[in-house]
Structure 1
Amino acid sequence: IIISSHKSNQIVLALFITFISATFIILNLNEYSPDVWRVTSYVYHDADDVTFIPQEWFLGKPLHDEESTIIHHYAFAENPSIFKYPDFSAAWALSIPLLDRLANKVRDDPLKSDFTIDLKHEVALYIWENGHGPRLTAVPELCTEPEHSPTAQHCATTLRRPAPLCGEPVKKEDIFVAVKTCKKFHSERVPVVKKTWEREASLLEYYSDHTDPSIPTIDLGVPNTERGHCGKTFAILERYISDAVPKTSWLLVVDDDTLISLPRLQMLLSCYNPSEPVCLGERYGYGLGQGGYSYITGGGGMVFSRAAVVRLLASDCKCYRDDAPDDMVLGMCLNALGLPVTHSSLFHQARPEDYSRDFLAHQVPISFHKHWNIDPVAVFNRWLKDESVSTRPHGLNKSTKEEL
C-alpha cells in the first residue's frame, strides 16, 4: 500500500488481518514528511549551496524481546530489550528514500543469511545495518487494538476479530493426527499429550521406534534417529493415504513435545479447501536470497490437505537419509512441485517465553513447542485450553485466511 499526499511519501505494509483507516494514517504519516526531512537532514556547503538529504524513516509499533531467544539467534544477549522490531500486525512503513536504498542494496549485495525464521526481526536488523541505518521509530497510532474497541479511537490501524473462522469449523473426525515419538520419551512427553490435548482428537496415532500397547504406539519400521526424522515422516505420509487409517481431508503431524489447540485448528481450517494442495504452519525459509525454499517448521505442527499428500507422494521427491530434516526435505519437495507453503503466525516453533509479550497479547495461538525449562501442562492451560478461544482477545476476522 503506497500512502502518498502533498506532504507524505511512504510505503505501508500490512497483513490481511489489519484494518487501516487511510485518512487517519495519512494524517499521522505527514509528521514524517519531506518538510521534516528538510529541517533535520542537510549538508551545508556555503550560504548559496545547501544539499537536502531526505530522512530515512522506518516506522511501526515496536516489539522487543524480554530475554535472549533462539528464534533471534540470541541477538543482543546482554540486553535483549534494547533492539526494537515492528509488529507486522499493526502495519509498518518505510519512507521511499529508505525503500530505494534498500532495493539497491539487495540488488548489489544479495541477502546471505541461511535461515529466515522471524522475518520482522530480521528485516529490522537488515535495515539497522549494525548502526549504519535507521532504527525503528515508534508510531503510537499504529495499533493492535480490536477493531471496534473504545481504546482504538486514536488508532490508524486496528485488528479484526475474533479467532479465524470462515464457516463451520472442520469436524475433528476429518483431521488425522500423527504424533512422532520414540521409546525414551514414552514416559516423559507422551503423558503430557494425554493430559492436555489428546482428548480433543478423534483420530490420533503415536509413531515410535518401539511398540508400547499401553499408549499405544505404532512402529513404522523406521529406525529412530536423534534428529531429522525424515524417514519416519515420509512413512507417516504413506500410511495416511493407505487403507490402514480412516480417510480424512486433513493430516496434522506434530512432535511429542508440541502443545496444540485442536479446536482452534478446526476453526482455522474452515478457511481452506482440502481439495486443493494446502500445506500450513509456521513458515521458515532456507537460502531465500539465493534461490532457496520455504518450509513448515515441524515443531509447531505441519498441516497437510489430502490433496497435498497425494501430490507429494506421487512425485520422485524422497528422503536422502532417514535422519535428514523432515520439514526441510518436505519444503524442497513442495518447492520442486510448485506447491505453496502457507504461513500462519498462530503456530509457534518455540515456547511462549521465546516471543515478545506484546506480540502474543493480540493472538489466539494454535501451538507452541518444546518442554524445556517450563511446565508444559501449565503452558497449555494458560495459552491453549479450548475454552480460552472465546475469552482471549482478538485474533483474526471471519472470512480471512491467515497468510503472510
Structure 2
Amino acid sequence: MRTLGSISIALSALWANKLRSVLTILGVVIGVAAVIIMVAIVEGFKGRVIKEFEGLGSSLIIVYFDPSEASKRAGLKISGLTLDDARAIEAQCPLVKRASPEIGVPGKASYSGRDMDVQIRGVVPEYTTTRSVRVARGRFINNRDMDEWAKVVVIGSEVEQKLFRDRGLDPVGQDIKVNATSFTVVGVLERKGRAFDEDYDKAVYLPLTSAHKRMLGGKWVGVIFAQATTPDKAEEACDQIWRVLMRRHGNRPDFTVDTQLRVMQAVGRILGILALVLGGIAGLSLLVGGIGIMNIMLVSVTERTREIGIRMAVGAKRKHILMQFLVESATLSGVGGTIGIAIGCAVSWAITQFVGDRLPAHVTLWSMALAFGFSVAVGLFFGIFPAARAARLDPIVALRYE
C-alpha cells in the first residue's frame, strides 16, 4: 500500500501543476516524434526499394558503367557499355536468358500545341520482360524497329493522359515530337508508377538504335539488365558476364555486375545504417528533454521540501520518497513518449497520403516500442538524482524549511 500511495501522490502532484508538466514533456514529445518519423521514412523507402527489386525477379542481373578509380588515375581509355556488349552477353553466356540494354535522358514530348517534360528511354524489345512492364494498347518496340532505326515510340500512361486522353483521342497511329523529332506512336504502356527514381508513366520509349542514330548520337548505353536462366544460377551467370565483358573491354574493369539480391542487400544495409544515424540524431532531443525533466524535478524537490518533511514525520520511509519522485519523472517521460508516438504516427500517415511514392513512411512496432522505452528510461535516469536528493533530506531540517 505504501508503494501505491507514493504513486498516487506523484500523479496528484503532476496533475496539480499541469502547465509545468506540459512544458516539461515538450522535449520528450519532440524527440520521440522525430525518432518515429525519421525511422518511418527510412523503413518506408527501404520497403519500396525491396518491393521494386522483387518485382523485377530474383534472376535479375544488373550491369552498369562504373570506371574504377585506378583506371581514371592511370589515364586508361574508358570504353563504357554498348548494345554489342548486350548481344555478346546473350550469345556467349549460356546461363543468361536475355539481356536488355537501355539509356535514358530528359527531354520534351509534344503534340498539337501541348508539351510535357518526359524521360526519353532508348530500349530493346526485351525491355518489357526485364522491367516487368505491360502494353495497354498497340504494341511495343520489335526487332524490325531496331533494324530499321524506325521512327516509332511507345508512351507512358501519363503522357497519353496529358497529350491525348483528355481530348478523347487514341494516341496509337498519331505522330508526336520528341525533342523536335517526329515519331509515330505504336503503343501505350499500362500504369506502373515510379521505381528507382524513374517514372515509367512519364516516359517515352524509342528503339535503342533510333535513339542513338536520330537523337543522342554515339553508341553507349547506361545499363544492361540481364536475366539468368534460373534464380539459383544468377551468381554463376554474373561470373560469365564478367569474363565476357573483361575480354571485350581489354581487361579494363570499367563496369560492375551485380545480382538483384546483392544490390538489395547493399541497399538494405545502407538504409539500416541511415535509420540508426537519423534515429540517433533525433534521439538527442530526448536527452535534452531528460535534462529538462531533471531541472524541473530539482525545482519540485526544493518547493516541496516541507511536504517531504511532513511525510517522513508521519512514517514515510526514504524509499517511498524516492519512489514518489521517480514515478513523477517516469510518468512525465512516459506521457511525453505516448504523445510523441501519436504525433509521429500522424505525421508519417500525412506524409504517405500527401507525398505518396516519392517519400513513403512506414511506422514499425519496433520503432514505437524503442522510442517509448527509451523515453521512459531517460525519465528514470534523469529522475534518479532529484529523487535521491529528496530521499536524503533530514526530516527535522525539512520541517523547518519555509
Identify the TM-score tier after normalising by the shorter chain.
under 0.3
Question: Normalization by structure 1: what TM-score?
Answer: 0.20
Question: Normalization by structure 2: what TM-score?
Answer: 0.20
> Higher relative CO (CA 8 A, sep ≥ 6), structure 1 or 2?
2
Greater C-alpha radius of gyration: 2
